[in-house]
Amino acid sequence: MRLSRFGCLLATVCLSVATGIAGSFSFVGTFTQDDQLAFFQFTAPSATTMLRTWSYAGGTNAAGAVIPDGGFDPILSVFDATGGLVSSSLLIAANDNGDFTCPTNAPNCVSPDPNTFSAFDSMLLLPALNPGGIYVVVLSQADNSANGPTYGDGFREAGNGNFTPNTFPCGGSAFCDANLAQRTGNWAVDITDVGRAASIGSGAVPEPGTMLLLGCGLAGLGLVRRRKNQA
């Protein structure tokens, strides 16, 4: 009986957490070379989904964490992975440098870096996804864009390691940008207004809210195992 009550309490707590933060997921990590990719899977809701990076110019992400500027110039590419991320998965959207046509401080604008004065962070508004559909976001560094129109077409700089010193010579060994500025391998990605989201590659570190949800899942699994052992 005590175990059953504990299970109900755990479920209530986890449900409260999920209700509070399930719409927004924030991830941070670091690339070790220029042609590396990071993968994130999310389930689309019926509302508009927004994807955004914070690592080039820095800022406060959806989890409330302050992200420092100085990261590389990012690209976000989105594939329809409802049947799994396979060679035929369609590229449905991609963005390199935010939106330069919108008014200053509009929700879909990205800020300029305080040192280079370039607005190189990436942002995507996706208003027409299939509710309940599964999608995969791929984070890459400029100039490593998706070749498209499918995932099987690969990425432009795949296998070229640290390609940026040749493309944008800044004097460093990696993470040069179009301003010939030395950057770092740090990145930060927000996926907001989704049913669920998770990192599925590159060793991303979820923000604490996402980790709490994972902890609830692991605790629930442990509870089930304990009940089986007692039976």
What is the Cα Rg of the chain in Å? 19
Per-residue pLDDT of 47-90, as tens digits, reads: 689 999 999 999 999 999 999 999 999 999 999 999 899 999 99
- Which pTM value belongs to this model? 0.78
Residue 187: pLDDT over 60: yes
pLDDT on residue 230? 52
Q: Which CATH architecture has domain 24-204?
A: Sandwich (2.60)
CA angle 144, 39, 170 (to 5 degrees): 35
State the alpha helices, DSSP H only, in the chain.
Answer: 2-21, 164-167, 208-230
* Span 94-126, pLDDT tens digits: 999 886 556 555 555 888 999 999 999 999 989
Q: CA-CA distance, 78 to 115, in Å (whole number)?
A: 29
43: part of which helix (H) or strand (E)? Answer: strand 38-43
Give the Cα separation of 223 and 204 in Å (integer): 27
∠185-79-197 over CA atoms, to 5°? 70
The predicted structure's pLDDT at residue 100 = 53
Would you list the domain boundaries of the chain? 24-204
pLDDT in tens, 14-45: 333 333 334 899 999 999 999 999 999 999 88
For the chain, the average pLDDT equals 81
Residue range 204-208: average pLDDT?
50
Measure the CA–CA gap between 79 and 48, rounded to whole angstroms. 16
Compute the half-sphere exposure of residue 193: CA atoms within 13 Å on the CB side of its CA.
Answer: 14
Name the residue with tokens 């007692």: 230
Number of residues assigned to the chain: 231
Closest C-alpha to 6, from 198, 200, 229, 224: 224
Residues 105 and 49: beta-carbon distance below 8 Å: no
